[in-house]
Amino acid sequence: MRSPCLQAVEITPANVEAAFEIRVGAEQNAFVAPVVTSLAQAYASRETAWPRLILDGERPVAFIMANFAPKEEEPDFRCGIWRLNVAEKEQGRGYGRFAVEAVLAEARRRGNRRVTVMWEPGEGGPEWFYLNLGFRRTGRVFTGEIVGELLLD
């Protein structure tokens, strides 16, 4: 059951160390980069990256990073989820769903009608998670990752 105290907050000097502490289970490391890598990429793409720390009250439980680049030539990169890391001991509590919903809300706020996500195929990967949230496979593969999409109403 999800806590009513969930929030997606900007990464700041005050909480960046807490974001670094979000670590997935060892078996998931093949499917998602560590938060420190994501934040380096966000810094390099600061005009389009949207990194957020997910808090349950004051407790950091997850990290998500989206990209909003409406002028991007490649449609799959205009509005999408780049990373989702839910702390190993916090998985299965709705934090990942909340994080994705935060991205969807921001996408709608910005006028987007389509959100993409890419995942590495394989046992223990995130495919089932995204499909259960309503994403569907597009049939495209980019650098070995399956491209999924969710059309917003």
| Cα–Cα distance, 18 to 63 (Å, whole number) | 10
Assigned domain for 1 exists: no
Assigned domain for 102 exists: yes
Give the domain CATH number at 91: 3.40.630.30
Q: Count of domains in the chain?
A: 1
Query: Kind and range of the H or E element at 65?
Result: strand 59-68
pLDDT tens digit string along 52-76?
A: 999 999 999 999 999 999 999 999 9
Q: State the pTM of this model.
A: 0.94
What is the extent of the structural domain holding 77? 6-151
**What was the pLDDT predicted at 58?**
95
Helices (H), 10-76: 16-20, 35-44
Assigned domain for 86 exists: yes
pLDDT tens digit string along 18-57?
A: 999 999 999 999 899 999 999 999 999 999 999 999 999 9
